[in-house]
């Protein structure tokens, strides 16, 4: 009887010991489109994310660049947008299909040049903003496919940029990329 109790005790103790935490680092170059909001056409976005993701949560730094963001919505010669966000990823890595929810804050930099207008606008603005969305890592190995959709919005007010857009800058971004895991 004492051997059975000892075996049961050892089995329960083995289950009570927490498993080793695991986190995968990743580098994920991506390409996609901005849509909705203040981009009138599906403008190209390229970028890269680097971070780590564990069994339940992760963190990433995401950098995106849109060389022709505004299109025909705003009458400008050039309108570039750069996003640099620090994000929390909730969902973790779980085999071949790993969905996650993402959200974070950072910099949204707009660079608007309008050399043809009477106003001769040249706005370069760094604004505090954020993003929220989600995505999916597909594949469980060292190389995965990653898809992601997020909503971006400027938080602080900027009279010049808001006058140009008639509102605060906001848009959606959808991307696909390769996740290089280690």
Task: Give CA angle at 167 (129, 116), nearest 5°.
Answer: 105
Give the integer Cα–Cα distance in Å for 176 and 69: 18
Q: Give me the pLDDT at residue 95, please.
A: 84
Q: Give me the pLDDT at residue 68, please.
A: 86
pLDDT at 182 over 70: yes
Averaged pLDDT for residues 91-97: 87
Q: Give me the pLDDT at residue 106, please.
A: 98
- Residue 136, number of CB atoms within 10 A of its CB: 15
Q: Give me the pLDDT at residue 21, please.
A: 53
Averaged pLDDT for residues 60-68: 95
Return the domain boundaries, the chain: 23-181
Class of domain 23-181: mainly beta
Q: Give me the pLDDT at residue 13, please.
A: 54
Per-residue pLDDT tens digits for 25-60: 999 999 999 998 877 678 899 999 999 999 999 999
Per-residue pLDDT tens digits for 72-87: 555 556 788 999 999 9
- Residue 8, number of CB atoms within 10 A of its CB: 10
- Residue 68, number of CB atoms within 10 A of its CB: 15
Least confident of 9-23, 132-146, 166-180: 9-23
């Amino acid at each position: 009887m004492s051997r059975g109790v000892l075996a049961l005790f050892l089995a329960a103790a083995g289950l009570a010991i927490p498993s080793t935490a695991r986190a995968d680092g990743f580098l994920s170059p991506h390409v996609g489109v901005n849509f909705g909001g203040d981009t009138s056409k599906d403008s190209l976005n390229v970028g890269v994310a680097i971070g780590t993701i564990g069994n339940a949560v992760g963190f990433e730094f995401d950098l995106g660049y849109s060389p022709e963001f505004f299109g025909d919505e705003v009458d400008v010669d050039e309108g570039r947008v750069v996003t640099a966000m620090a994000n929390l990823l909730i969902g973790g890595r779980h085999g071949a299909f790993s969905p996650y929810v993402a959200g974070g804050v950072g910099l949204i930099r707009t660079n608007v040049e309008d050399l043809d207008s009477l106003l001769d606008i040249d706005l370069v603005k760094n604004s505090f903003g954020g993003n929220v969305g989600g995505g999916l890592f597909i594949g469980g190995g060292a190389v995965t496919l990653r898809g992601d959709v997020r909503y971006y919005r400027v938080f602080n007010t900027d009279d010049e940029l808001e006058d140009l857009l008639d509102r605060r800058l906001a848009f959606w971004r959808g991307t696909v990329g390769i996740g290089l895991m280690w």
